[in-house]
């Protein structure tokens, strides 16, 4: 799918996570909802989107120690929001075991309590791992944070179109596939942990 020239839909995410995506520190997101199954394949509402940073619910206890200093904690969402990052979802993976997320511990900035919270929230719904290729916009835009954008929702249709032409990939065409492959291998390893007998090595007679 070709990279779009403009976008008008944004995914709301903690500002500190948006920052991690913009630095290449992280290229995964976790989601429940906004995803459906069509023709036997998992799909999401929007494969290309802008990142809409949020501040109010950020919690330093949910972040690894070395990431907490970069978090901005506000008592309310700001009146203006800078849109400077876009994303493309390349993979959608259902996560059925905690061991899978344990295998990915070095791929994200979250602590175990946040992972547990994501698993425990609406446990009847599957948890999805999204692999996201992030792009820095050539011309970031500051927009009004209108009441229409408020509330606990993942997707927000913006009131204005934002140009995304010539956005620059955070991870280039060599680094992103390599990192993606590493993550997929970790997911596979976490989904199929070695049995206790296999962990001990071959039996000796």
| Prediction pTM value | 0.88
Name the burial class of residue 41, with classes exposed (0-12), middle (13-18) and buried (19+) by CB atoms within 10 angstroms of its CB.
exposed
pLDDT at res. 35: 57
pLDDT at res. 172: 97
pLDDT at res. 43: 59
Give me the residues of the chain with pLDDT under 50, please.
196-205
Domains in the chain, CATH or no CATH each: 6-192 (2.30.130.30)
- Length of the chain measured in residues: 205
Cβ-count burial 51-84 (b if 16+ within 10 Å, e if not) = bbbbbeebeeebbeeebbeebeeeeeeeeebebb
CA geometry: angle 133, 64, 184, nearest 5 deg: 35
């Amino acid at each position: 799918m070709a990279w779009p020239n403009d976008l008008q839909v944004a995914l709301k995410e903690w500002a500190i996570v948006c920052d991690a995506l913009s630095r290449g520190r992280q290229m995964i997101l976790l989601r429940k909802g906004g995803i459906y199954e069509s023709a036997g394949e998992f799909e999401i509402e929007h494969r290309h989107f802008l990142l809409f940073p949020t501040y109010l619910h950020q919690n330093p206890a949910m972040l690894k120690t070395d990431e907490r200093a970069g978090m901005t904690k506000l008592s309310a969402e700001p009146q203006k929001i800078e849109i400077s990052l876009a994303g493309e979802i390349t993979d959608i993976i259902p996560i059925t075991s905690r061991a899978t997320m344990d295998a990915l511990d070095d791929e994200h900035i979250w602590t175990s309590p946040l992972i547990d919270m994501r698993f425990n929230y609406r446990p009847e719904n599957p948890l999805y791992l999204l692999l996201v290729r992030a792009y820095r916009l050539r011309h970031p835009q500051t927009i009004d944070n209108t009441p229409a954008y408020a509330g606990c929702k993942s997707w927000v249709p913006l009131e204005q179109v934002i140009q995304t032409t010539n956005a620059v990939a955070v991870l280039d065409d060599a680094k992103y596939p390599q990192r993606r492959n590493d993550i997929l291998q970790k997911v596979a390893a976490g989904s199929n942990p070695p049995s206790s007998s296999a962990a001990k090595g071959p039996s000796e007679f």
